[in-house]
Chains A and B, each alone.
Chain A
Amino acid sequence: MYDGYQGYIAGYEPGRPEKPDRHYMPPVNNLVLAQAYIPIQRYGKTFPPEEALKQGTLFPELVRPYAKSKQGGRW
């Protein structure tokens, strides 16, 4: 059902020539109710292996640092 959709593409890099992936996130007005959607990652920049290992991921757009809480109870 997602063929031909051109919605939000995570990690998209305009300069990078690439055969487009078939499965994009559908635009908001085409979303079906009562199910979840997650944007499909596009292949863009990657860390060199040593940096990837340090970060815990090869993909800069997936880095989500955590700031240690002294008090706890972030919510």
Chain B
Amino acid sequence: MWLYEKKLQYPVRIKKPNPQMAMYILSQFGGPDGELAASLRYLSQRHHMPIPEAKAMLNDIGTEELAHFEMIGAMVHQLMKNASLEQIKAAGAGTWYTDHDRATWPGTGTGVPFTASYIMSKGDPIADLYEDLAAEQKARATYEHLIDLADDPDVIDPLRWLREREVVHFQRFGEILMKLQEHRDRKHVF
């Protein structure tokens, strides 16, 4: 069961429309290393975790990723909402406008739809945790690329914040990996 809390985890307040930046940021909405992929990855893998610490961590980080998915959606929405057709055309977002107007949709800015192929749920807890550690690093790198591309401080600030969360999640998953490796060794030695 999930409940909705009517607030963003961290504020998104973008005043200037920028369809080009919206197209870039969409990758974190429905792209290969995006927040939707992260959430679905952890919420799928949690079912076969053998120790309580791992179940809780995948459940809770998977839940937090949904809050990040929401923040990215808000960013895309605010960057597109008041954009003029001239701005949209000049930004090369005319193909997006053709299919979506100014809507938010889970796919990349080049129109590649979200797919479950971006994630794996292997059934081997240690293999899955290594994927999760890699996923946090890839998302961190994506945020760094987006920060490099951005100029507006209203856009950079939430991107910077989301990037820091990837660092924290990496540490937490690392701690879980240590516990899983210990659990495996204890189980097989005795």
Contact = CB atoms under 8 A, between A and B. Distances in A.
> Is chain B found bound to chain A in the same assembly?
yes
Given A56-B161, A57-B164, A68-B148, A1 B182 contact: yes
A7 to B, nearest CB: 12
Interface stretch (B34-42, B97-105, B173-181): B173-181
Nearest to A23: B178
Contact of B160 (A1, A38, A39, A56): A56
Given A55-B164, A56-B160, A57-B168, A68 B147 contact: yes
A28 interface: no
Given A36-B130, A36-B177, A66 B147 contact: yes
B161 A38 contact: no
Q: Is the interface of A mostly helix, strand, loop or mixed?
A: loop
Interface in B142-170: 143-145, 147-148, 156, 160-165, 167-168
A27 B154 CA distance: 45
A69 B148 CA distance: 5
Contacts of A70: 148
Nearest to A64: B167
B167 A41 contact: no
A28 to B, nearest CB: 15
Interface residues of B, number: 28
Interface in A1-50: 1-2, 23, 35-41
Contacts of A1: 182, 185-186, 189
Q: Is the interface of B mostly helix, strand, loop or mixed?
A: helix
A63 B130 CA distance: 22
A68 to B, nearest CB: 5
A67 to B, nearest CB: 9
B171 interface: yes
B145 A72 contact: yes
A64 B164 contact: yes
Given A1-B186, A53-B10, A74-B144, A66 B178 contact: no
Interface of B: 10, 130, 133, 143-145, 147-148, 156, 160-165, 167-168, 171, 174-175, 177-179, 181-182, 185-186, 189
5 contacts: A2-B182, A23-B178, A39-B174, A62-B167, A64-B164
